[in-house]
Amino acid sequence: MMNVKLAFRNLLRNKRRTALTLASIISGVTSLMVYAGFIHYSLWGLRESTIHSGLGHIQIVKNDQYFTSGSFDPFGYSLDRVEDIQSLIQPLPSVRHIVPQSTFGSSIGFNDKTGLVMIQAVPVNTPKDLLRFRKIIKGKDLSQPNSPDIVLGVGVAKRLGVKVGDRVTLLTATRGGGVNAMDVLVVGISKSGIREMDNIYGYMDLELATQFLFLEGPSVLIGVLNNTESTTSTLQDIRSKLTQHGVRATAKPWHELADYYTQATGFFYALMTVIKGIVVLVSVFAIINTITMSVFERVREIGILRIMGSPQRSIITLFILEGMMLGLAGGLMGVMSGYGVSWILNWGGWIYIAPPPGMSDGYIAQFKPTFWDALECVVLAAGVSVVASIYPAWKASKISVADAIRFK
Amino acid sequence: MQIVQIQNVDKLYGVGAIAVQALTSIHLDIKTGEMLCIMGASGSGKSTLLNMIATIDAPTHGTLNIAGQNPALLSDTDLSTFRNQTIGFVFQSYNLIPVLTAFENVEYPLIVAGMPKTKRTQQVMKLLEQVGMLDWVHAYPNCLSGGQQQRVAIARALVSQSPLVIADEPTASLDHQTGTQILDLIRQINQTHHTTFVFSTHDPLVASYATRLIRMDSGRIVS
């Protein structure tokens, strides 16, 4: 307890130096908090837009091979016992909707232009949740069951030069190896924000697609949950229900299917690590400098404490406590400052982020640091401060008592 | 009974051409309850000898026995405990911890010794009363005069009831009147508690308080 008192009062001895050290820790922690808040918001946005642009939270398919070749072979992967699966899963409290879907590749022609499109076929009455982030930017969404209508991604429409009201021709292989073609009316142009999707996807009614390809049934059941955080637990429930009822199907969570999200997460967290590293380095140098200066100034006092019976470990503890107090105080003030700066930036809405790689739209940055970010920052600041204090504290403990009391 | 036994002690600082022989062939026994004064010019080896007795410096050759212990055989922790329980220190420049009050400065050795708070408080207050500092219990050193600081330093040296107190020129920074008061206080404590005092000085007045006087020159005891 006396060491705590001594450490605290010693920090107040040279207020300017303590304030400067605190300032460097606070600025580092503030930048970490703000950046962490930005990453969380950005990744949250990317996650939700990925899920609600048609991927869903959980996909149930016939088997794992579907995810590698199913899009090109919807006939080989038609799900068995679709209604049984729906009745098993829909009652789960975390499940909001179970939506059947088939995806197939098709050639698409308009006037003298031909391209390729992946058609995502879902019922026209599909709950808005699944496609919440797919915006209809021109025309309207699908509304008539079994009507030969199509909504095209903005990239597809642009490359074909198609406008709402135009008719395009789809040409695809059907069950048994035949070929089928159909003229469909472009009723809408959509944008998901993910350029990769907008350049390749089109949307049509599942019933129409089933007839067009002579499908036996949907190849995917898409689970939309009440919240994304319950994905893992719901996935376990779904898998155990499928196993219990002898249904031969595979369930996969969204994050195993969203390659772009995984890459973006890796990129953002790599950047975060670099920033953390810089903050840690700045804090380490600031703390080492402060504690070393403090040791130099107090050589004689260290000698006196040793003469009065303080062992070396007590001197080490004293200086480490000083470092830890600096780190804790800097961390806590940095967290408060981080929340404050985030609030001001969110309130102002001044920061426009240009479209990230692979995205088609920029956005106004929002900063949402979490409690865990705050806790991590405080622990990091205190931990780094303790580590940075060890060397000068050890040096202090090794000062010869006789030399220390002669020190002027 | 001998509280300090020094046999054939040498102290050499540095090596080779820059080596300085600070102490040469020191033999000294100090009895419990003595007030031993070490006199000598600057550089004569007084402080080195005091540091040796205080176990804060080790001899290059020879053996030391302080209160029945050979400090060279103790670990850092044991030596710290030994100092805490056996030896009190008074310095020329007081050397109070500036961020602690007078009370806390005196209390510190007892905290290190692990004494319970109630007993600690009683003992500290008793010592501060004895040195006439009860009115300045909560004052920080920078608010105290030199004489007051030295009184607190003496209280700190005695609070652990150490049988041996080392005082390196304890009145050198004080005016004549305050110095005399401090010396009277030291003599009173010596007489009432039979505490052994070993102090160094240039001042004949200070030396007059001693029960035994030794003189040093060039690292040797000359008389």
Q: What is the pLDDT along chain A (408 residues), one digit of tens a residue?
A: 788 888 999 888 888 889 988 998 899 899 989 989 998 888 888 888 888 877 889 999 988 888 877 666 777 788 888 888 888 888 999 998 888 988 888 999 998 899 999 998 888 887 777 777 778 899 999 888 888 999 999 999 999 999 999 999 999 988 777 888 999 999 999 988 778 888 999 999 999 998 888 888 888 899 999 889 999 999 999 999 888 988 888 999 998 888 888 888 888 888 888 988 888 888 888 888 888 888 888 888 888 898 888 888 999 999 999 999 999 999 999 999 999 999 999 999 888 887 766 666 778 888 999 999 999 999 998 998 899 889 989 988 888 887 887 766
For residue A216, give the amino acid letter: E
Predicted structure pTM score:
0.74
Question: In this predicted structure, what is the pLDDT of residue A357?
Answer: 63
Question: In this predicted structure, what is the pLDDT of residue A408?
Answer: 64
Question: In this predicted structure, what is the pLDDT of residue B90?
Answer: 85
Question: In this predicted structure, what is the pLDDT of residue B147?
Answer: 85
Chain B residues with CB inside 8 Å of A311's CB?
76-77, 80-81
H/E element, A7: helix A2-13
Nearest to A13 among B56, B89, B99 (CB): B99
The stretches in chain B having pLDDT less than 70 are: none
Q: Do residues B48 and B23 make contact, with C-beta atoms less than 8 angstroms apart?
A: yes
Give the β-pairing of B35-40 and B212-217: parallel
Contact B112 A312 (CB under 8 A): no
Contact A310 B80 (CB under 8 A): yes
Question: In this predicted structure, what is the pLDDT of residue A189?
Answer: 95
Measure A23 CA to nearest chain B CA, in Å.
Answer: 24
Give dist(CA A137, CA A362) in Å, integer.
16
- Ramachandran angles phi, psi of A314, nearest 5°: -70, -35
Chain A residues with CB inside 8 Å of B77's CB?
311-313
Return the closest-CA partner of residue B107 out of A304, A314, A308: A308
Q: What is the pLDDT of residues B63-115, one digit of tens each?
A: 999 988 898 898 888 888 899 889 998 887 888 999 999 999 999 999 998 89
Nearest to A10 among B57, B77, B99 (CB): B99
Question: In this predicted structure, what is the pLDDT of residue A269?
Answer: 86
SS3 content of chain B, % helix, strand, coil (to 5): 40, 25, 30
H runs (alpha helix) in A90-200: 154-160, 195-198
For chain A, the farthest-separated pair of C-alpha atoms sits apart, in whole angstroms, at 100
Tracing tokens 């689970």 back to the chain, one arrives at A223
DSSP-based three-state secondary structure for B214 = strand
Contact B156 A308 (CB under 8 A): yes
Q: Does B81 touch chain A (CB under 8 A)?
A: yes
H/E element, B8: strand B2-13
Contact B109 A6 (CB under 8 A): no
Measure B183 CA to nearest chain A CA, in Å.
Answer: 22
Give the β-pairing of B212-217 and B220-221: antiparallel
Give dist(CA A168, CA A267) in Å, integer.
39
Return the closest-CA partner of residue B105 out of B123, B124, B82, B119: B124
Residue of A nearest to B140 (CA): A9
Paired strand residues for B221? B216
Contact B56 A405 (CB under 8 A): yes
Return the closest-CA partner of residue A187 out of A212, A204, A199: A204
Q: How many CB pairs under 8 A join A and B?
A: 67
Nearest to A308 among B51, B57, B112 (CB): B112
Return the closest-CA partner of residue A392 out of A276, A280, A298: A298
Contact B108 A314 (CB under 8 A): no
Question: In this predicted structure, what is the pLDDT of residue A321?
Answer: 93
Contact B84 A308 (CB under 8 A): yes
Q: Does B97 touch chain A (CB under 8 A)?
A: yes
Residues 6+ apart with CB under 8 A from A124: A142, A143, A144, A145, A147, A205
Return the closest-CA partner of residue A120 out of A140, A137, A99, A135: A99
* Cα A371-A375-A377 angle, rounded to 5 deg: 115
Give dist(CA B133, CA B122) in Å, integer.
14
Contact B109 A314 (CB under 8 A): no
Tell me, letter by letter, the H, E, C secondary structure of B21-75. EEEEEEEEEEECCCEEEEEECCCCCHHHHHHHHCCCCCCCEEEEEECCECHHHCC
Q: Do residues A247 and A63 make contact, with C-beta atoms less than 8 angstroms apart?
A: no
Nearest to A306 among B51, B80, B100 (CB): B80
Q: What is the pLDDT of residues A35-86, one digit of tens each?
A: 899 988 888 888 888 888 778 899 999 888 888 776 667 777 888 888 888 8
Question: In this predicted structure, what is the pLDDT of residue A359?
Answer: 66
Q: What is the pLDDT of residues A236-271, one digit of tens each?
A: 999 998 889 888 889 999 988 888 888 888 888 888
Give dist(CA B128, CA B155) in Å, integer.
6
Question: In this predicted structure, what is the pLDDT of residue B56?
Answer: 86
Chain A residues with CB inside 8 Å of B85's CB?
309
Q: Could you report the predicted ipTM of this complex, rounded to two decimals?
A: 0.86
Chain B residues with CB inside 8 Å of A394's CB?
none
Q: Does B100 touch chain A (CB under 8 A)?
A: yes
Contact A2 B108 (CB under 8 A): yes
Measure A5 CA to nearest chain B CA, in Å.
Answer: 9
Nearest to B56 among A6, A12, A402 (CB): A402
Q: Which two tokens stand for residue B43?
A: 């550089």
Using CA atoms in the order B114, B120, B124, B129, what is the torsion angle rounded to 10 degrees?
A: -160
Measure B22 CA to nearest chain A CA, in Å.
Answer: 14
Residues 6+ apart with CB under 8 A from B15: none
Question: In this predicted structure, what is the pLDDT of residue A33?
Answer: 93
Q: Do residues A142 and A203 make contact, with C-beta atoms less than 8 angstroms apart?
A: yes
Measure A230 CA to nearest chain B CA, in Å.
Answer: 54
Contact B97 A304 (CB under 8 A): yes
Q: For chain A, which residues lie within 8 Å of any Cβ of chain B, measuring from their own Cβ? A: 1-2, 5-6, 9-10, 12-13, 300-301, 303-314, 401-402, 405-406
Contact A304 B95 (CB under 8 A): yes
Question: In this predicted structure, what is the pLDDT of residue A346?
Answer: 92
Return the closest-CA partner of residue A251 out of A230, A232, A226: A232
Give dist(CA B142, CA A21) in Å, integer.
26
Q: Which two tokens stand for residue A90?
A: 């829909």
Query: What order do you get walking across the sheet with B212-217 strand by strand?
Result: B87-90, B164-168, B196-201, B35-40, B212-217, B220-221
* Cα A134-A138-A143 angle, rounded to 5 deg: 70
Tracing tokens 């472009």 back to the chain, one arrives at A186
Chain A residues with CB inside 8 Å of B104's CB?
2, 5
